[in-house]
C-alpha cells in the first residue's frame, strides 16, 4: 500500500478516521517505518503539550461566582424566548416569493387582456352611413375609433348626436 499523506495520519492520530479506513491505516502503519515515525512524532508533541499542564494547579470552582450566577438566573424571566430559526425564515421567504410570483402572473395575464382590447384595430365603416354607425355602436360596450372615409375630420358638434342615437337604439332593444 502506498503511504497515506500526513494530513490523514494526523486525523488518524486524533481518532478522526472512521472504520474501515482506520483498520486499513493501522495495518499499514504497523508495517511502515516512515508512517509510524510520523505518528510517533505527533505522539511526542502531544505529550510535550500535555506536560505543560501536568503539574498545573487549577483553581477551585469559585463558589461566589456560582452563587452570583444562580441568583441572576432566578431573576431572569421564565418565559421562553421566541426565536426564529433560519430554516423557518427561509421557508417563509420562499412562501412569500411563491405568492408574489403567483399574483404577478395573475395580474399580468389580466393586463394583457386589457391591452389586447385596447390595441384592437380601429373599425372602418365602408361608406358614410349614420345608421350603419349607430348599428355598430349599439353592438359595442366600449367606445371605438370610427373612421369615415371622405369625412375627416369629424366635427365634434356631430358626436353628441351619434351618441344619443346609439343610446336611444340600445335602450329600445
Partner 1 sequence: MSVDSSQFNDLYSAMYVPLFRIVKRITGNEDAAEEIVQDTFIKVLDYWSKFETTDDARYWLIRVAQNAAINWAKRSSKEHKLYQRVYSEQHVGMDGPEQTHLKTETEQLVQNALQMLPEKFKRVLILKEYGELDYKEIGKVLGITEGNVKVRVFRAREALAKALEELGYEVS
Residues at the interface with partner 1 (CB under 8 A)? 6-7, 10-11, 14, 16, 37, 40-42, 44-46, 48-53, 55-56, 58-59, 61-62, 65-66, 68-70, 72-74, 76-78, 80-81, 83
Cell of 109: 395575464
Q: How far apart are CA 108 and CA 116, in angstroms?
A: 12
User: Comparing C-alpha atoms, which of 13, 41, 37 is closest to residue 25?
Assistant: 13
Judged by beta carbon, residue 47 or residue 147, the one nearer partner 1 is: 47
Judged by beta carbon, residue 62 or residue 110, the one nearer partner 1 is: 62
Smallest distance from partner 1 to CB 27, Å: 21
Judged by beta carbon, residue 73 or residue 122, the one nearer partner 1 is: 73
Give the 3-state secondary structure of residue 146: strand
CB-count burial class (<10 Å; 0-12, 13-18, 19+) for 9 = buried
Amino acid at each position: 500500500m502506498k503511504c497515506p499523506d500526513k494530513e490523514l495520519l494526523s486525523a488518524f492520530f486524533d481518532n478522526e478516521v472512521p472504520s474501515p479506513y482506520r483498520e486499513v491505516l493501522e495495518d499499514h502503519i504497523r508495517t511502515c517505518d516512515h508512517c509510524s515515525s510520523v505518528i510517533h512524532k505527533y505522539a511526542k508533541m502531544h505529550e510535550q503539550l500535555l506536560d505543560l499542564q501536568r503539574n498545573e494547579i487549577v483553581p477551585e470552582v469559585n463558589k461566589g461566582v456560582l452563587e452570583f450566577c444562580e441568583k441572576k438566573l432566578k431573576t431572569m424571566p421564565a418565559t421562553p424566548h421566541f426565536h426564529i430559526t433560519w430554516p423557518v425564515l427561509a421557508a417563509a421567504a420562499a412562501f412569500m416569493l411563491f405568492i408574489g410570483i403567483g399574483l404577478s402572473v395573475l395580474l399580468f395575464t389580466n393586463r394583457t387582456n386589457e391591452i389586447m382590447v385596447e390595441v384592437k384595430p380601429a373599425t372602418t365603416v365602408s361608406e358614410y352611413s349614420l345608421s350603419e354607425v349607430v348599428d355598430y355602436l349599439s353592438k359595442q360596450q366600449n367606445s371605438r375609433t370610427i373612421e369615415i372615409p371622405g369625412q375627416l375630420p369629424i366635427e365634434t358638434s356631430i358626436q353628441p348626436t351619434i351618441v344619443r342615437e346609439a343610446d336611444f337604439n340600445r335602450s329600445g332593444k
